[in-house]
Structure 1
């Protein structure tokens, strides 16, 4: 389900400085890959939003994250796969904030899970080494389900020389 093609890039001039240019997708993609923390937004069964911080990895054109099967985000995604992942610096006048909209798809293929597990170790270190078994990650704390979010749309919000870029996949 990963996205390998280049998206259409558009600058939204309504929310950009007069001389701003669109942020390139390679720069946006690099920001997604390098970020340490992300915010995941899901929808509760009653329609209220649920937002939580987590770690994730960018691999093969998608973001991957994991969560316990009994956690609120897993329960929400079981009912409604629509979600948003956001990351950024949290600074007012500098940096690039990024938002990815898409559907979370459970990853059960053990070859892909092993690749994602290795990406976690490469990015976050040995503390985040998972064993792959029975279509899930396993560690001292128990089982973790893995989800892939291939972008349907993504946004880049550059601060300083303000620009708002939309990428459509």
Structure 2
């Protein structure tokens, strides 16, 4: 089954004259390759909460895990809307990405096993998880981690050589 392609727009006011829109294939590869992302969730009082985490890109969604008692997880229970960002942290090279969507908890055992393997493939054996009761369990005994998937609703890419601002819209256009 092929992944639907998003509607892609280049914002000319924030792009160099010779800029082209970044292709979604390039952006999804950058999401897949990123060692670190930042997640923004919303606290119950409306303030933002931002923290770094590791993600895997599987089945056209970013996946992350967190303990059920962590602030970001508590925030997600009240409001599943998130922003995930990653990039190069440089001014004149690379691609910065912003992914907007809703986090949904993954509890299906077969999907969790596939995702656990994706973590090992990307981050190595120290990130090997066991799966039980709809969650990851770390072999070191650090408790359980809940897994969430964020399928992009909208994403933005900020290219820097040349400068460009691309927007991708998914689903309904």
Alignment match, 1:101: 100
Alignment match, 1:47: 46
Whether 2:5 is the aligned partner of 1:16: answer no
Q: C-alpha separation between the residues in 2 aligned to 1:15 and 1:94?
A: 16
Q: CA deviation at 1:160?
A: 2.5
Alignment match, 1:155: 156
Question: What aligned pairs does 1:13-162 form with structure 2 within 5 A after superposition?
Answer: 13-139=12-138, 140-162=141-163
Q: C-alpha separation between the residues in 1 aligned to 2:71 and 2:112?
A: 22
Question: Mind listing any 5+ residue stretches in structure 2 that lack a counterpart?
Answer: none
Q: C-alpha separation between the residues in 2 aligned to 1:89 and 1:64?
A: 20
TM-score normalised to structure 2 length: 0.95
DSSP 3-state at the match of 2:152: coil
DSSP 3-state at the match of 2:19: coil
Q: RMSD of the TM alignment (CA)? A: 0.9
DSSP 3-state at the match of 1:151: strand
Q: CA deviation at 1:4?
A: 2.7
TM-score normalised to structure 1 length: 0.97
Q: CA deviation at 1:112?
A: 0.4
